[in-house]
Structure 1
Amino acid sequence: MPQFAILIYADESLHAVDAAEAELEENDRHAEDLSASGTMSLAYALTPRASAVSIRRDGTSPGPFVQADQFVAGFYVIEAPDLDAAMAIARVNPAVRTATGGVEVRPVHSGGITASS
């Protein structure tokens, strides 16, 4: 079945080191629902952008690669029969209901989990 990456855009990650359980509850419940349905194959929440380091040809700098109001706060990969089905799944992400957040759905081209020996 085709895989789709769902990139979660937000003003800032809720997954700060000191985030309260109540702040994470809705997102965690959403992830648990997708996992229980067998739809989601992996998910990662990213730390706030202040912890990012950008690497370019001429060196490194603290902070995100692109300065923007919203940034990728996390992502997950789902399996769905087609793009329309993936979009239907993505529409229930809590970020979609916020005033400034949202999600992006992108078909996965190739890759997957690799294990080192």
Structure 2
Amino acid sequence: MAMAQYAVLLYERVPPADLPEEVKRGHLEMPAKAAGLGGRIISGMALDEPETATAIRGDLVTDGPFIETKEVLAGVFVIEAPDLDHALAIARLTPTVQGGVEVRPLIGYEVLEES
């Protein structure tokens, strides 16, 4: 049986460039720890600073973050886990400085190829 996929969204108040080395190292150690919990990290990426964002709302395109918040989406891990409880256990491994994580099930879409 295939495992479910989840997005682990990492929110921080600290810019990625300013994360302490132990937090960066902790992110790199997550695949081995996830495997120990019966899951798998498929991919993980940090996002560039919010100021580099371009937002699209209908026909309006704006530079920079659309909403002012104390925490910003800083990165994402895509994981596979047998169920939500396992996904939450893996997400708890995510080191943060002044933020937290959010877990969301992923809904697969079939990519249509041009004919």
TM-score for both structures, normalised by structure 1: 0.75
Q: 3-state SS of the aligned residue for 2:22?
A: helix
Look up the match of 1:2.
4
Cα pair distance change 1:64/1:108, threshold 3 Å: same
Q: 1:6-58: per-residue Cα shift (whole Å, max 9, x none)?
A: 000111431xxxx36xx353343233223343710011100110111112224
Secondary structure in structure 2 of the residue aligned to 1:34: helix
The whole-number CA distance in structure 1 between the counterparts of 2:110 and 2:20 is: 27
Give structure 1 stretches of 5+ with no counterpart: none
Q: In the alignment, which of 31, 34, 45 is matched to residue 30 of structure 2?
A: 34
Alignment match, 2:52: 51
CA contact (8 A) 1:9 1:70 kept: yes
CA distance in 2, matches of 1:62, 1:48: 12
Give the Cα separation in 2 of the matches to 1:67 and 1:51: 14
Structure 2: distance between partners of 1:69 and 1:12: 10
Q: 1:62/1:94 Cα in 2 relative to 1: closer, same or farther (>3 Å)?
A: same
The percent of aligned pairs where both chains have the same amino acid is: 41
Gaps of 5+ in 2: none
d(CA) in 1 for partners of 2:88 and 2:41?
13
Contact between 2:11 and 2:101, CA under 8 Å: does it hold in 1? yes
Structure-2 change in CA distance of 1:59 and 1:53 (3 Å): same
Q: How many residues are matched?
A: 106
- How many Å separate the matches in 2 of 1:112 and 1:28? 34
Aligned amino acid, residue 108 of structure 1: L
What is the CA RMSD across the aligned residues, in angstroms? 2.6
Structure 1 residue 69, shift from structure 2 partner: 1.4
**Higher Cα radius of gyration:** 2
TM-score (norm 2): 0.76
